[in-house]
Homo-oligomer: A and B are copies of this chain.
Amino acid sequence: MEPAPAAVLLGWELMAVDPDAGTIEVAFRASEQFLNPAGVVQGGFLAAMLDDTLGPALVATLRAGEWAPTTDLHVQFLASARPGRLIGRGRVVGRGGEIAFLAGELLREDGVVIATAVATANVRRS
């Protein structure tokens, strides 16, 4: 499948996925385009990366014809990030009917966690 424009812009790359466990690991490329006036990656772009980590963790568990828009995303910003490679780890924490609870974190390559997130998604059938 062709990656979506948002994934291309974020430098999204699949590292590992385990649909049975509901876990995923992806990589991103934080670009100079994402910098805020303080010269670090604007927090919203870290949120975009986390959205593109938690969402795919759930999507990997869905059946054909299902999709799952995110209804809520809560991000905590623990540390700042410079342009370069970042790692996203996401997981499906729980599933109750059509509601899915997701969590994950974004790390620098040296293992420092720069942001964590929880999200809620609504599984729908076409």
- Contact surface of A with B, Cβ cutoff 8 Å: 1, 4-10, 32-38, 41-45, 47-52, 67, 69-77, 80
The answer to whether A44 and B50 have CB atoms under 8 Å apart is yes
> What is the distance, in angstroms, from A121's C-beta to the closest C-beta of chain B?
10
Contacts of A5 in B (CB 8 A): 32-35
Contacts of A35 in B (CB 8 A): 4-6
Q: How far is the CA of A38 from the CA of B6 in the complex (A)?
A: 11
The answer to whether B42 and A49 have CB atoms under 8 Å apart is no
Subset of 10 A-B contacts with CB under 8 Å: A4-B37, A6-B33, A6-B34, A42-B52, A43-B73, A44-B48, A44-B51, A69-B80, A71-B77, A73-B75
